[in-house]
């Protein structure tokens, strides 16, 4: 805990020995750094796998969830390699991150990011999911929730050539799970 709201931490632990290798700490109180984390391939070529960490909370501390972000960190040094930011305040960007197959054919598995409270075409909290190249960060695809208050992108997991996405408030609160097959060929490249 550092001055007020907690910042969150992510701890890298050796799977072989259980030893703590590194502790990563959020930058600002209340941003919920480490709410979700996913392992990526070696993006910077140093021989050690890297990772993506969601921080969907409000860095400004202005009340309510603000402009979340996802940081891509070096697994070796903990340094921030890239930073992806929400398109708008309040969309809970980075509430979910998931590693997908290599969809753009660059040899590195790619990344999905959920923003389940995103407003889509005027529909509040419809939710959206970005599919990005883990290396170039190019937006390969976007899945947009069709209905207000569906919370699409609350949870995401890999499927062959695509992903499974939950929308836990869709269908009048019953919840729904969508499977998206994006391509059996490389996207965007």
163 belongs to the binding site for Ca ion (CB under 5 A): no
Which residue lies nearer to Ca ion by CB, 44 or 149? Answer: 44
CA distance 100 to 160: 8
116 contact partners, CB below 8 Å, separation of at least 6: 91, 92, 95, 96, 125, 127, 145, 151, 152, 153, 154, 167
- Nearest distance from C-beta of residue 168 to Ca ion, angstroms: 28
Helices in the chain by DSSP H: which ranges?
170-173
Among 9, 23, 46, 61, contact with Ca ion (rule: CB under 5 A): 46
Residue 138's nearest CA partner among 110, 107, 99 is 110
Q: Is 66 helix (H, G, I), strand (E, B) or coil?
A: coil
- The answer to the question of residue 81 lying near Ca ion (CB under 5 A) is no
Stretch of 35-43, 62-70, 117-125, 146-154 lying at the interface with Ca ion (CB under 5 A): 35-43
Query: Which of 27/106 has CB closer to Ca ion?
Result: 106
Closest separation between CB of residue 61 and Ca ion, Å?
32
Neighbours of 189 (CB within 10 A): 12
Does 110 contact Ca ion by CB under 5 A?
yes
Per the CB < 8 A criterion, the answer to whether 141 and 132 are in contact is: no
Shortest distance (Å) from residue 88 CB to Ca ion: 26
Asked if 112 touches Ca ion (CB under 5 A), the answer is: no
Which residues within the stretch 114-133 sit at the binding site for Ca ion (CB under 5 A)? none
**Residue 186 beta carbon to Ca ion: minimum distance, rounded to whole angstroms:** 8
Chosen residue from 27, 42, 89, 149 binding Ca ion by CB under 5 A = 42
Q: Please give the residue ranges that form the binding site for Ca ion (CB under 5 A).
A: 42, 44, 46, 48, 50, 102, 104, 106, 108, 110
């Amino acid at each position: 805990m550092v001055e007020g709201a907690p910042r969150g931490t992510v701890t890298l632990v050796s799977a072989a020995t259980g030893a703590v290798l590194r502790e990563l700490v959020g930058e600002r109180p209340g941003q919920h750094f480490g709410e979700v984390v996913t392992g990526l391939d070696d993006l910077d070529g140093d021989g050690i796998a890297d990772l993506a960490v969601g921080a969907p909370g409000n860095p400004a501390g202005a009340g309510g969830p603000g402009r979340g972000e996802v940081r891509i960190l070096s697994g070796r040094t903990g340094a921030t390699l890239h930073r992806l930011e929400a398109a708008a305040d309040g969309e809970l960007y980075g509430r979910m991150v998931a590693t997908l197959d290599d969809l753009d054919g660059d040899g590195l598995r790619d990344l999905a990011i959920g923003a389940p409270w995103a407003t889509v075409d005027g529909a509040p909290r419809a939710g959206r999911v970005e599919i990005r190249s883990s290396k170039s960060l190019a937006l390969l695809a976007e899945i947009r929730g069709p209905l207000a208050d569906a919370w699409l992108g609350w949870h995401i997991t890999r499927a062959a050539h695509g992903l499974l996405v939950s929308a836990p408030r869709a269908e009048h609160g019953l919840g729904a799970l969508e499977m998206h097959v994006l391509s059996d060929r490389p996207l965007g490249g």
